[in-house]
Amino acid sequence: MLLKRDALSWRGRTLQSGTSRHLFSTSQPSPDGPIIHIPRSSIYPLGVNNKSGPLFRDVSWTVHPKDAWVVLSATSSGAKTSLLQALTGHLRISPPPPPPYGLLPFLKNRDPHKHVSLVSFAHRPQAAGGAFYDFTARYGAVREEDRRTLRDTFFPETAKPLHELAVPAMYTHPEDVDQLHADHAKEQLRRELFGDLVTRLDLHRFLDLPMIALSNGQTRKARIVKALLEQPELLLLDEPLTGLDVQTRALVLSLFHSLHVKNDPHIILGMRPQDPIPDWTTHLALIRQDGTIHAGKKEEVLDVAANTQLHSGWSAPTSRKHARNETGNAVVTLAGVNVAYGDRMVLKDINWTIHEDSRWHLQGVNGAGKTTLLAMVTGEHPQSYTQSSRLTLFSRPRARWPTPHLHARIGRVSPEMHNAFPRRRGMSVWDAVGTGFEGNFVPRGRFRVGFGADGAELADGSADERWRVRRMWEVLRALGPAAWRGEPQSEAEAREAQEFSKRSFADLAPGEQSMVLLMRALVGRPPLVLLDEAWAGMDEGMVQVARAYLREGGLEDGQACIVVSHWEEEVPWSREDGVQRFRLSDGQGYIE
């Protein structure tokens, strides 16, 4: 796909790392040999012979120690993850990189499993089992079994005093004492590194909080620290900026820069085309649509990429109809809402009215309270009962709503929902989308499009049943595979939607699951739609389709929508469309 040169909007958006610009001699091979060396090979899934098509072909890619590489994909975020997996030995490279040192010459045949790690933030961890687990437990008083702190979970060794770690010395054979001292010194260094990392990423305040109480961004920062503490020699980070606020992104990139300058560890970043490429990047590996990879100096690759549609800029064309604010009825009213955990006030005196038809961008740094606020609006937060007189949902105080009735009125996508959604065998895409009418997690009814508002099965052939089935096909076609590939309204669209509807939800790629959960949120045309990090894991084509659908027909008259995102440009509507901002800062809410 060709696009005008200015389509590469991120080209001018390189992020300042906060440290002085470092000039690398990019083409100087290191005396230690390259970090990565793939000389004109193709890359296949394991267990697949060369007769089947490769995932990547004609790959010539050499990474020298001083080079700062970013991997980008013009096609799918899955392709980028696969290329990074190839570096950890999870794919087959043919012909294999030459002896004596193969793919990772700098290791000089040391075990890659011990020295190379890949940490992916691109795709969320998923609930392993088939059952839905109750993610709302987090909002209540922390139960005894949920008391495990961030430190216990990720960094248990830092809970023990150093002298305790040395106790085995009393039982150690004298010949092993030197080894013990060496281990002790190593442990001390590790602790210093730990102290340095948690301070730099502002995590020390959360170390002794229960893990369950941490916000998404706080947990993601902890995963970055854990990855670095393992002290790999090559660290591959796939979309490490996912879910991080602007300040934290700058902190994290500055940390990566300083590690890169020391080459300890070597770092390769996988990024989305719309991410700001750090200014200290020297080289790019761009995965093209035909499976070839253009790897070279940043400027050179950007010149070529200017002719490739990597990222269309996500500017929000004006919608069919401007969103009307503050004219319709109030859908939700918060009048002086507070949320506290013990003496910790997370939300203070929040005043916010969400009218019919309104479009909101809910903003706030990691841990500002966005998820907590939405849990009050959905009635999932236990404190929504105690605040009932200050919280009016769909014209009634919160306490006058049975919670399942609220679920049917609120279409919702969130990281918590994505993680918790059941992946049981036998749950098809159709079933998963169909649960959206009731907002529950168990498909039911003759066509598995849910029961009626009265809790009874829909009458056979009733208008409600027919409407629901029609809506199912509408979202499956509008947001289905043919649309992602840029072939909407094609002959194949209906057939592909049918095939897609039969697939097992659990077997879909993470981006496809995100799309199905978005269909589920929209299918019942609920009066309120909450989209919290809705695009995570989706490929560029999916994001484009979802945004276009939301702007043009995906929401009809009367529906209100709140988008939570740390990226302004991810909001489907522009200011001209009437989108408003509600910003949380120090527990207080500000309308902007």
Ligand X SMILES: Nc1ncnc2c1ncn2[C@@H]1O[C@H](COP(=O)(O)OP(=O)(O)OP(=O)(O)O)[C@@H](O)[C@H]1O
Nearer residue to ligand X within complex by CB, 6 or 586: 586
In the complex, residue closest to ligand X by CB: 217
CB closer to ligand X out of 208 and 326 = 208
Residue 245 vs 493, nearer CB to ligand X: 245
Reported as half-sphere exposure (CB side, CA atoms, 13 A), residue 570 has a value of 25
In whole angstroms, how close is the CB of 562 to ligand X at the nearest point? 13
Complex with ligand X: residue 138 or 390, whichever CB lies closer: 138
Minimum gap (Å) between residue 404 Cβ and ligand X: 23
Smallest gap from residue 73 Cβ to ligand X (A): 25
428-466 as b/e: b if 16+ CB within 10 A? bbbbbbbbbbbbebebebeebbbebeeeeebeeeeeebe
Four-point Cα dihedral 459, 460, 463, 466, nearest 10:
130
Query: Measured from the CB of residue 570, what is the shortest distance to ligand X in angstroms?
Result: 13
Contacts 24+ apart (CB under 8 A), 440-448: 440/404, 440/407, 441/132
Give the burial class of 258: count Cβ atoms within 10 A of its Cβ; 0-12 exposed, 13-18 middle, 19 or more buried: middle
CA pair distance 211, 143, nearest whole angstrom: 12
HEC string for 118-151: EEECCCCCCCCCCCCCCHHHHHCCCCHHHCCEHH
- Minimum CB distance to ligand X smaller for 218 or for 274: 218
The DSSP bridge partners found for residue 93 are 43
At its nearest, how many Å lie between ligand X and the CB of residue 14? 24
Tokens of 30: 């290191």
- The DSSP H or E segment spanning 545 is helix 540-549
Minimum separation from the CB atom of position 236 to ligand X (A): 23
Q: What angle do CA 302, 308, 314 make, to 5 degrees?
A: 95
Shorter beta-carbon distance to ligand X: residue 41 or 215: 215
Q: 15 vs 213, which CB is nearer to ligand X?
A: 213
Beta strand segments in 115-256, E: 116-120, 234-238
User: What is the Cα–Cα distance from 7 to 5, expressed in whole angstroms?
Assistant: 5
- Nearest to ligand X of 111, 592 (CB atom): 592
Closer residue to ligand X in complex, CB, 286/376: 376
Closest by CA to 540, choosing from 274, 294, 239, 245, is 274
SS3 assignment, position 240: coil
Cα separation, 229 vs 85, whole angstroms: 21
Q: Of the two residues 141 and 463, which places its CB atom closer to ligand X in the complex?
A: 141
Query: Which residues contribute to the site for ligand X (CB under 6 A)?
Result: 138, 142, 209, 213-218, 341, 344, 346, 364, 366-372
CB 368 within 8 A of CB 585: yes
- Report residue 352 as tokens: 């916010």
